Structure 1
Amino acid sequence: MQSTLTPYTPFFKLRILTLLLLQLQILPTLSLSPCRTSCGNVAIKYPFGLDDGCGAPQFRHMFNCTTDLFFTTPSGAYKVQSIDYDKKTMVVYDPAMSTCSILQPHHDFLMTDIQSVIIPPSPDTIFVLLNCSIDSPVLNHYKNLCFNFSGHSCDELYGSCNAFRLFHLLTNSTPPCCFTGYDTVKYMSMNILDCTHYTTVINSDNLKGIGPLDWVYGIKLSFTVAETGCERCADSGGTCGFDTETVGFSCLCSTSMNATRECAAGSVTDEGHGHAPMLLFQAFVLILGTFLCMNL
């Protein structure tokens, strides 16, 4: 005769106890961070974030992730090639920028006012203005904005690069060019500068005696990180983020729990929820399990 499983049988109690013990083991693994930690092959760490509320609020909505990570500005989306969190630099590439091997229609590189302050192009990023008119302001009234770039010249650019050689061929001369910094293109558009194309080169301090074919083309950005107590949050197992309404600092402890400083047991979250409810639930499970064991 087949036995009947009732709430009073030892086997039924044993099954309930097993399920309760499994629940206790599973609960900690459900406390996952709500923030993505990578996009493609690029690690995402504070102060950056892909999901709203993650990272520092100053960088909110500056990144998007498809298959690759992109940094967005008013002039376009720029693929992030690398981020060095120790040196606080990020290298991006402008797909519409001319290089030694390809000539692109000219356009402006624009950043918002806040981007220009907290993540501007680094001092060793050189903006090269190409095929400039003799009436260009950087060759006349603002000629002090052009500077010597490790001994390199316009002749070298137009002679070495297939893409830029066209400028020399069309005019049968060497059109002016200008090696300058980000502030020049920040305040003057390409139309005002009266130069048809531009390119950008990074790590300029190490390019003395290195020809244009071996330059690294791209834009290196330098970012700053405000002191918000993030290290304390990270040490407690949390992820540094912010409240999406108040933009105040928040330590993200799980997908459902945030703390004001750190993910310590019993800490209360910004929304009035914390670890205490989970601890009470775990205590209830332990008491119930003990009761069942005593009655097996």
Structure 2
Amino acid sequence: MNNLISINLIYFFFYLIITVIISSAPMIKTTAAVEPACKTHCGPLEIKYPFGTGHGCGSPRFHPYVTCSSAAGSGGEGELRLTTHTGSYQITSISYSDSVLTVAPPCMSNCTSMQPSPANFGLDWAGPFQLGPSTFILLACSPETYSITVKGNPICDPSSLYLCADIYTCPGVVALGLPLFPPTNTCCVYSPVNLGPEDELDLEALGCEGYSSVVALGDFPTDPARWRYGVALKYTLGGLDGYDVAPSCRGCEQSGGVCGYAPPRNSFVCVCGKYGNTTTDCYSYNWIYTSSSVLSSGSIWQGILAAVSIFLILN
């Protein structure tokens, strides 16, 4: 009798171990496939909602446009870029409090380097971005540029002509086919900027060879070598993002997590690194995915109950 009980106990523990392993194995496989590689930084830039470093990170409204890509010279840390129908542009700064980011189009001129711009700069009309507080300066323009109007108003702002005089002191103007200290009537401060029906800065239609964009004049407004160059863009979260996601996202980021979304419904998730994802924050235990190093207590109890049931049936 004692030998029979011992054999039955051995069977019981054998079934218990096998069942627990089988019940937890699918969960481990699923986790490895769905965990997004969300990061809090891309290069030197801190990444917060609504932006993300890849698919499943940040807001799905922004992922097609803003991504963290590997780039030469980025030191392996990546480079945050904005992609539109006219090209891909490096993002140099983000102000989350003002909802403004700054991009540096590769064909944009500055005081150090001036060049003709063969490609237009544009935005996607369906995207979450619009032009922000920056000043466009059109360079090496034809005399006809000053006669161009939009809705009856000239595109060139005569009150800002001093910016043309300043930027034309830069030696780089010769790269645009201009002499040193060229006349300012070949320069136009385009204000307010109208990208037109194609949402593009069409330099060919405007009769200009190149352009510059100034975000701030800084402490030396007459020294173009010290201006801050770039194109400032405002972004909007949208009604659903602002009302439903923002409160949950704040709690997620405060707990050390990264805000993201889970296909196919793109519902909010808080990405907590190797510990998995939750529907709230990284302090909670409302896990929807679990790291391969952590076993689900529910799966363990299911395995124990299954083993006990098999033991009772055999006896």
TM-score (norm 2): 0.65
Say which of 257, 266, 278 aligns to 2:296. 278
**C-alpha distance in structure 2 between counterparts of 1:73 and 1:94, whole Å:** 11
Shift of 1:146: 2.4
Shift of 1:48: 0.8
Structure 1 residues 94 and 267, CA, compared in 2 at 3 Å: closer, same or farther? Answer: same
Is the counterpart of residue 224 in structure 1 residue 230 in structure 2? Answer: no
Shift of 1:246: 1.9
Which has the larger strand fraction? 2
Q: Which amino acid aligns with 1:54?
A: C
TM-score (norm 1): 0.68
Say which of 124, 127, 135 aligns to 1:126. 135
SS at 2:89 equivalent: strand
Structure 1 residues 213 and 64, CA, compared in 2 at 3 Å: closer, same or farther? Answer: same
Is the counterpart of residue 69 in structure 1 residue 80 in structure 2? Answer: yes
Aligned position for 2:112: 101
Say which of 186, 192, 196 aligns to 2:209. 196
Shift of 1:222: 2.7
Q: How many residues align?
A: 248
Gaps in structure 2 of 5+ consecutive residues? 1-30, 303-315
Is the counterpart of residue 40 in structure 1 residue 43 in structure 2? Answer: yes
8 Å Cα contact 1:150/1:209 also seen in 2: no
8 Å Cα contact 1:167/1:174 also seen in 2: no
Percent identity over the alignment is 28
Gaps in structure 1 of 5+ consecutive residues? 1-29, 285-296
Show the 5 A alignment for 1:1-296: 34-62=37-65, 63-66=67-70, 67=74, 68-106=79-117, 107-115=119-127, 118-123=128-133, 125-136=134-145, 139-142=147-150, 143-148=153-158, 152-158=162-168, 160-165=169-174, 167-169=177-179, 173-181=183-191, 183-185=193-195, 186=199, 189-204=202-217, 206=218, 209-225=221-237, 226-227=241-242, 228=245, 229-254=248-273, 257-263=276-282, 265-267=284-286, 269=288, 278-280=296-298
**C-alpha distance in structure 2 between counterparts of 1:217 and 1:192, whole Å:** 23
- String of CA shifts for 1:21-52, please: whole Å, max 9, x gaps: xxxxxxxxx99984122222222221111120
8 Å Cα contact 1:154/1:174 also seen in 2: yes
- Higher RCO (C-alpha 8 Å, min separation 6): 2
Structure 1 residues 177 and 266, CA, compared in 2 at 3 Å: closer, same or farther? Answer: same
**C-alpha distance in structure 2 between counterparts of 1:182 and 1:73, whole Å:** 21
